[in-house]
Structure 1
């Protein structure tokens, strides 16, 4: 790990800045100005040895949910006097980027034996804090607040009057110089009175004041907690629980059929992979219209957050039901088997994301397969979801200049900040474009083996060893190729290089024909498409006029080189009127439909900033929504892929 020298030059003589002569410059200054602090420390590189101080005690007061303020007291034992650097987590697992929330940390005070110790933030790595531990001190105490977002533009809201989400990386400092797996922590939390809580540290539901068992810091960060006024827990299979917090008690009411589908998710995943890489597992599931949504993997749990009506409006929530399948898959793909350059010894060492097309892309693939096999979504709904992905990559122009592998840099490049032209820029496309590559691999294996083998065999080979081992087994590109070749000999290195590492102007859609289907477009949206529109609160006309329109006509997306793009419409504009009448989505649909087969443009009144423009959109192809149409007779490859495992 790189070591950074900390040497700051002192201030230049004041006289030089004032333009005074040399004689004047030699006179004593009449005013005293603060001088920059010279930081000569180097931040020690992490070593795989036990932290000599002993167990760190972390106490979090999470009762101020009205203001979203978490108050932290951390007692850190020290083995010796001298220089100590404390680190706030920066490179976060699952985020694949330096997204630690140090900007929301405030009120830091460090004491030893009742005396305040000065601290200095590192001027190069602002996540590091330097302290001089005085002689005789056996421990230091760090106190601070984590000021969580109070509105969505500050970040994800993690505390409401009804529930909270506690991520330990936001409320803990740790000593530099050690692998985080070598630093023991004993954490305790005070939640609001009468609330229940859940975390993999204490399976199932706990009360409002909890002291958790001593674990290493890596395990602690990997074991977030949720708590709420309204909570319930369901055992899905022995050792696997669905812990649910909701805004209101009635939103917790899941039917036996709904819970049965979640039970089948666990059963189908275990049948697929052939082993479990946890001693127990908790889905930490928040249903809220106020708490920020989430989907973040952990080894023995996952943070899963979606709209409050997940159970109560089941028919419309199909687009959200992939969430749990995706995050659960990560226990195998991403946590147990992890790309070698994504494993780091601490949260300061930079991660490298080159194999996210396996970590996330194949997880995305299995998430959709498992949603169908478990019945969380129907086979048709899953086919419709795959059609949506296929249509996007058939039409996106970004594939003509950018590789899928290059998008693995996006977590660091853009950190999910909004983009004006996503279809041309791409954004973390290793998820969905990666999913297509694994669909292609599956159907190719089925074709070459006469249906006797599939990517299921790769999953069992690559992820299914050492049942109940929840360590970390890393891999490289060559290991992926070798595992594929063990299923069926083929030039898999070229197969992956062509689809992942090379610019590929044609979309990866060979799996559709091999699977017995074709991609088509129809004038009515599928049920899955309508569910996704509802979840995103948009109307999506990407494959007709090229617009995605949100609330009150806000244009949230413009497809590159589409009719709307050619007419000069931009993301961030507002659609005010359609053919001289106030915009509503039904009116726009009827106008697009009426223009089909004609020659006249569609006139839209668009507000961009303070300017109103009448825009003529030349489109006469009607409404177009993607779907997969079966062309094979009998059971085809895609049909077999989506069947439950016996």
Structure 2
């Protein structure tokens, strides 16, 4: 072939190829389309589940922090007759957490058997907490074995097993069949504990303990999840029962036996808590109640409400350093109040038919906010904290929330979404994001409401009357009673006529540049600042092992120098300081809290030298200069505190 013929032939070939490409391009390429979702999980039905689940938990593997379970589940008759898809759910929406916090990431070793034969299981591709089991025809029950690989250190999550104690939360160690309200599913639980350990729980034993194994009476799955267990090597029970003879027990476990040394006066204060709560609400919604309290530096911290119990943790010196640890003693009052507010009366959006149905937290400013208020009030009325100590605590709350820069953009109601948004993870700028402000700012709203009722009624009515009307209904009933906003305002109006809807909407739904401090000023109190920290601040700092410079330089710092919070807009913020940096030196001297206090004091006044901080941010060091000259600042309440004293004083019987 000549060169000319070769070129012409090649050009013709390219033309044919190009034409083929054009022809192919003329056919439109299909756009991707979504795969159809898998079939929806069975919708919960309010009908009894046939048969009874049995659940066995082995809590003895302390060294490896592993809980091992064996659960036997009856198969519904319609599935057993023909075989088919049987769905088990792992609880995700845990009451009190207000978000899907189920520890499914710790679930392992799942095996399923029926009649001795292994069955395959498959996780749902959308609802990853659902497990599909294809059961053969004629299968009447399945046995599921699995483990909960609990955290071995706080870096992985909340520690629930140590060499001296264990916290069994049944929601974390159980599965339940889909398609039913969990109140309609019955289960018989059993737990095996280390030899010689005692335990506390709202569950009641079905017979004597056999070795380390305790079998409990059958309960609904709802009640099971609502009845956690504390067990420990060093354990003590204190009877708090009142004249009504309804059993109330304080179950305490500790890292060390000496930490259980409670005095009669200290136990009397806990008894007074039960008495004052009963006087406040005029009712109870349990046939027994168990406070579960861990005094520990090793078990993960907790404060979680249940209908007939509560999970609480406190410092080792809760009893033995009574005068120094009082800042932790409103916790039991808070969680106990939840038996009425949160467990019995509950915002409609926070009730769900099972533990995998999403909840809506718009009512948390009542659920948590008013509980936070009663927690402080009942702590004072019972003597768990003195009235001056609670006044100091209220001063700290008022100062913190009045200084929240995030209120420039975010109304309080939106913070009720935070359990879902942030999953209670640490935040870089909590004061700007506002975090879960419905707790303590909600507390200030209810103080505002209480003092306004007292003023309008010439002190003949108070929020005590609201508590009795709203939470005191159906004495003795365990059935959750849901409510919405209108019932809150109607009950307030029944106590004291007023435009309560506007009062609450303004404080909850609208942006307010200042915290609702009218409740304090109405009593005659005034928020001011001193160069000396209050005893409450010192107690809280001692428990947290940190020092508070929030209202001077604008940060909190641990004993070892780790910055745990930096306030948005503060001098530290303006200097570019963030949390999780390490404070190494102050004005050229190694950091400790007393040194920094001295430097801040010496820098007070005009024409004084600035404060120089040496910081370490991972592997980088830098020096920052703060031109701050206002001295140390700690909040306290000045003025006439008689109004607050009256509000915090015990209810007397007639």
What TM-score do you get using the length of structure 1 for normalisation?
0.92
Q: Which residue of 1 aligns with 2:19?
A: none
CA distance in 2, matches of 1:40, 1:453: 57
* Residue aligned with 1:213, SS: coil
CA distance in 1, matches of 2:100, 2:596: 42
Return closer, same or farther for 1:605/1:166 CA change in 2, 3 Å cut-off. same
Q: Which residue of 2 aligns with 1:482?
A: 490
CA distance in 2, matches of 1:447, 1:411: 35
CA distance in 1, matches of 2:297, 2:537: 21
What CA deviation, in whole Å up to 9, does each residue of 1:242-283 have, x standing for no partner? 011111211111000000000000000000000011011000
CA distance in 2, matches of 1:304, 1:612: 40
Please state if 1:441 is matched with 2:454.
no
Where in structure 2 are the equivalents of 1:200-599 lying within 5 Å?
Answer: 200-202=202-204, 207=209, 208-237=212-241, 238=245, 239-599=247-607
Conserved in 1, the CA contact under 8 Å of 2:38 and 2:125?
no
CA distance in 2, matches of 1:190, 1:282: 20
Q: Which residue of 2 aligns with 1:129?
A: 131
Return closer, same or farther for 1:38/1:108 CA change in 2, 3 Å cut-off. farther
* Residue aligned with 1:427, SS: coil
Q: Which residue of 2 aligns with 1:175?
A: 177
Conserved in 2, the CA contact under 8 Å of 1:119 and 1:129?
yes
- Which has more radius of gyration? 2
Return closer, same or farther for 1:462/1:594 CA change in 2, 3 Å cut-off. same
Conserved in 1, the CA contact under 8 Å of 2:87 and 2:131?
yes
Q: Which residue of 1 aligns with 2:66?
A: 69
Measured after TM superposition, the shift of residue 205 of structure 1 is 13
Conserved in 1, the CA contact under 8 Å of 2:205 and 2:217?
no
Query: Which residues of structure 1 form unaligned runs of 5+?
Result: 1-36
**Deviation larger for 106-115 or 594-603:** 594-603
What CA deviation, in whole Å up to 9, does each residue of 1:3-30 have, x standing for no partner? xxxxxxxxxxxxxxxxxxxxxxxxxxxx
Measured after TM superposition, the shift of residue 598 of structure 1 is 2.8
Where in structure 2 are the equivalents of 1:77-96 lying within 5 Å?
Answer: 77-78=74-75, 79=77, 80=80, 81-96=83-98
CA distance in 2, matches of 1:472, 1:527: 39
Give the alignment partner of residue 165 of structure 2, picking from 143, 163, 171. 163
Conserved in 2, the CA contact under 8 Å of 1:548 and 1:557?
yes
Please state if 1:57 is matched with 2:54.
yes
CA distance in 1, matches of 2:520, 2:622: 42
What TM-score do you get using the length of structure 2 for normalisation?
0.91
Superposition RMSD in Å? 1.5
What CA deviation, in whole Å up to 9, does each residue of 1:416-451 have, x standing for no partner? 111111111111110011001001001111111111
* Residue aligned with 1:645, SS: coil
Measured after TM superposition, the shift of residue 639 of structure 1 is 1.6
Conserved in 2, the CA contact under 8 Å of 1:203 and 1:280?
no
Q: Which residue of 2 aligns with 1:644?
A: 650
Return closer, same or farther for 1:39/1:551 CA change in 2, 3 Å cut-off. same
CA distance in 2, matches of 1:204, 1:304: 26
Measured after TM superposition, the shift of residue 308 of structure 1 is 1.8
Q: Which residue of 2 aligns with 1:44?
A: 42
CA distance in 2, matches of 1:156, 1:608: 26
Please state if 1:614 is matched with 2:623.
yes
Give the alignment partner of residue 111 of structure 1, picking from 107, 110, 113. 113
**Deviation larger for 538-547 or 611-620:** 611-620
CA distance in 1, matches of 2:163, 2:106: 20
Measured after TM superposition, the shift of residue 42 of structure 1 is 2.9
